[in-house]
Amino acid sequence: MRKLAGAAKARRMLLTGSPGFTLIEMLVVLVIIGLIMGLVGPQVLNYLTNARTKAARLQIEAFGSALDLYYLDVGRYPPASEGLNALVRRPSGTEVWNGPYLKGGAVPPDPWGNAYAYRAPAERAPYEIISMGADGNEGGTGSAADIRSGAR
């Protein structure tokens, strides 16, 4: 009797189909996932780009505050030859230096992994700090645009 019940069950499965997904159902699911990724993916990348730009602006502001503290202690902003490294290591010939003025013992790179450019004196300010953007080169538009410290 048991063999007959098992055979009947197997026969029913052959006639009605197996309990898995059909190829069409799998393709529909893959198309839906592809559409979602196509719509959401660019937005996520845009948010990441904006976050990096904001992070660079915040780092430049922090460098500006550290440079102001350096100025109060030393009486001048570091020249371009010393650069931002003067904020973490005492420059030679500097008597009063209460640094380091940045945490971590090193000047961090910009959010794209490039070094910040430091110019002193700048055109209309005592100094200028620049992130070259995503491309790492001067100039550019969009995410490759330079991010500069504000005029003082």
Tell me the average pLDDT of the chain.
83
Give per-residue pLDDT as tens, 7-61. Answer: 666 666 666 666 678 889 899 999 999 988 888 877 877 777 788 889 999 999 9
Q: What pLDDT does residue 151 have? A: 34
User: Do 2 and 10 meet the contact criterion of CB atoms below 8 Å apart?
Assistant: no
Region 99-117 average pLDDT: 90
Assign 124 a pLDDT band (cuts: 50, 70, 90): confident
Give per-residue pLDDT as tens, 53-101. Answer: 899 999 999 999 999 999 999 899 999 999 999 999 988 888 888 879 9
**How distant is the alpha carbon of residue 5 from its chain centre?**
64
The pLDDT > 90 percentage for the chain reads: 37
Question: Does residue 130 sit in helix, strand or coil?
Answer: strand
Separation of alpha carbons 68 and 150, rounded Å: 14
Under CATH, what is the fold of the domain 46-148? Glycoprotein, Type 4 Pilin (3.30.700)
Separation of alpha carbons 77 and 92, rounded Å: 14
Amino acid at 97: W
Handedness of CA 70, 71, 76, 77 (dihedral sign): positive
Element holding 63 (H helix, E strand): helix 23-74
* Number of C-beta neighbours around residue 11 at 10 A: 10
Domain ranges of the chain: 46-148
Separation of alpha carbons 124 and 57, rounded Å: 19
